[in-house]
Amino acid sequence: MKAAFTPEQHNSKNPQAMTSFKKVLIANRGEIAVRVLRTLRELDIQSAVVFSEPDRDSLAVRLADEAYCVGPAPSAESYLRGDSIVELAVSIEADAIHPGYGFLSENSGFARQCRTAGVVFIGPSPQAIDAMGLKIESRRLMIDAQVPVVPGGTEPLADAAAAVAAANEIGYPVMLKASAGGGGKGMRLVEDEAEVESAFRAAQSEAGASFGNAAVYVEKYIALPRHVEIQVLGDSHGNVISLGERECSLQRRHQKVIEEAPSIAVDRALRHRMGDAAVKAAKAVAYEGAGTVEFLLAKSGEFYFLEMNTRLQVEHPVTELVTGVDLVEQQLRVAQGQAIDTDLFNGEPHGHAVEARLYAEDPFKGFAPSPGIIKALRWPQGPGVRNDAGVEALSEVSIHYDPMLAKLIVWGADRAQALRRLKRALAEMRIEGVKTTAPLFQALLEDKDFLAGDLDIGMLDRKLEAGELKDPAAQESESAADALDRDIGFIAAALANLEGSHGVERSAPVGSGDSARHRWRVVSRREGVGGSIS
């Protein structure tokens, strides 16, 4: 049995020391800033991070070799200030900027500014970012490169009448989508002709307001597909390789919640075909660095290109755990002009990895944000557990930024072991001061469809709406209340017994030894002995 967990054991070649970059500036915050600086440290490259005023005491700032304040809380005045960040990089003599994900990572203007200033942007060329940034353009490119796309248009719809005509031609249901869309914005599902006009206008105005680009097109709606994406790596020598797939179907309102590698819906042959398509997609834009090609995998087994994310993904660790490749290290190598080792990955994943995104939100109260100070914190450890966190005890979770606290990632020899480890890790974890999405993962780990891997992109929303996933804390307090009732009966019975009454017999069932034991268990858990999860 392959019990060991160290990534370097399989597939990956020994990393060689790197010399060219002496200092890299990380233009990001939270867990991804910490993630990047870890690899920099392993490679003996100096790390510098930027931070906003409220992030002054953050984990990334504490861990980095150097840290620089770039402005106040609002991202537009700090983390998105590309001009001052490039200026900073020049003044501190950083060789390169790592943008992480979000913020400036897919901003081609920023990538250009870096180039002009003579600082390496760790990512693809501005042209590749632009080509993949708009859905209409990337669809055209993919069709030319013979990558399968969702059947539909390749031109912006001129008006509502054009939308009706195009939707009628494709056949219902259809999706109206903003070309510049992201994060599920500017997207509308349309079931029949009567809905097209209003959906078109809504998608168009949402797209205009959110992205400053109102172009909308129409494509076929794929019923109950999986979201399966391929990790690729490209270099400046024209090499592009696939590092296999990630299963990201477990989504809430189009946002990923749990990701896995590999996907149980993908066998060796399909992995090969999807990998080939992803490599073609990346080659079409001469892709350099780490990128992700997202596909919808239909029940029929057909797959369709959705979009390419031209950056490191939140969920990259699951690929790292099953391939043994440090993706940040590869990004750095490529950015220094090195060729990637085309045998880096032997084509088949090793074991199974699952990532749960831990947000400061209350999943059973409509995912209400839960800002505050983390008063107590115990991260899980032990076999197969990796925890990429952006916070520590006493960190403040502010309302200004994405509320992701950490990513809990587990590896197992197979999916069943990985899920058992996730369950164990969640039981071990303790976070006090803010609510987290941990109880949702605990509920999912009791769900038979999730356990069976029977996923599609709408599954989580359907289960949440139907109230199928139960809050384990609510169940616990219910049983605590039951236990209290029983204990009152027990005390009454004991008192009656003391007084020599015959009430004992009548009260005996509620005052049984079992319920008294149960009560002890509940009390000890409430006191944190067994690790309560808020």
Cβ of residue 425: shortest distance to ligand ADP, in angstroms?
A: 26
Of 329, 285, 328, 325, give the one whose Cα is nearest residue 305: 285
User: CA 297, CA 275: separation in Å to the nearest integer?
Assistant: 13
Place of tokens 């906003």: 52
- Rule CB under 6 A: which residues touch ligand ADP? 150, 175, 181-185, 187, 219-222, 225, 227, 251, 254, 294, 296, 306-307, 457
Cβ of residue 227: shortest distance to ligand ADP, in angstroms?
A: 4
List, in order, residues 6 or more apart from 447 with CB less than 8 Å away.
463, 468, 469
Q: Enter the tokens of residue 151.
A: 């059947």
In whole angstroms, what separates CA 135 from the centre of its chain?
Answer: 21
User: CA 181, CA 166: separation in Å to the nearest integer?
Assistant: 19
Whether the CB-CB separation of 403 and 434 falls below 8 Å is answered with no
User: CA 376, CA 393: separation in Å to the nearest integer?
Assistant: 6
386 catalytically annotated = no
Of 299 and 517, the one with the shorter C-beta distance to ligand ADP is 299
Place of tokens 């520590």: 392
Peptide bond preceding 225: is omega within 30 degrees of 0, i.e. cis?
no
Of 40 and 464, the one with the shorter C-beta distance to ligand ADP is 464
Cβ of residue 358: shortest distance to ligand ADP, in angstroms?
A: 21
Of 140 and 220, the one with the shorter C-beta distance to ligand ADP is 220
Of 184 and 509, the one with the shorter C-beta distance to ligand ADP is 184
Angle between helices 327-335 and 316-323 (to 10 degrees): 100
Cβ of residue 176: shortest distance to ligand ADP, in angstroms?
A: 10
User: CA 440, CA 413: separation in Å to the nearest integer?
Assistant: 24
Q: 285-321 b/e with 16+ CB inside 10 Å = b?
A: bebbbbbbbbbbbbeeeebbbbbbbbbbbbbbbbbbb
Cβ of residue 19: shortest distance to ligand ADP, in angstroms?
A: 38
List, in order, residues 6 or more apart from 108 with CB less than 8 Å away.
126, 127, 129, 130, 133
Of 423 and 463, the one with the shorter C-beta distance to ligand ADP is 463
Cβ of residue 133: shortest distance to ligand ADP, in angstroms?
A: 10
Q: Which of 226, 271, 311, 415 is catalytic?
A: 311
User: CA 503, CA 98: separation in Å to the nearest integer?
Assistant: 74
How many residues would you count in the chain? Answer: 534
Of 37 and 190, the one with the shorter C-beta distance to ligand ADP is 190
Cβ of residue 47: shortest distance to ligand ADP, in angstroms?
A: 30
Alpha-helical (H) ranges within 241-289 are 268-284
User: CA 285, CA 127: separation in Å to the nearest integer?
Assistant: 8
**How many CA atoms lie less than 13 Å away from 501 in the CB half-sphere?**
11
List, in order, residues 6 or more apart from 465 with CB less than 8 Å away.
none
Q: What angle do CA 69, 74, 79 make, to 5 degrees?
A: 50
User: CA 371, CA 363: separation in Å to the nearest integer?
Assistant: 14
Cβ of residue 291: shortest distance to ligand ADP, in angstroms?
A: 14
Of 36 and 285, the one with the shorter C-beta distance to ligand ADP is 285
Of 227 and 486, the one with the shorter C-beta distance to ligand ADP is 227
The residues assigned a catalytic role are 311
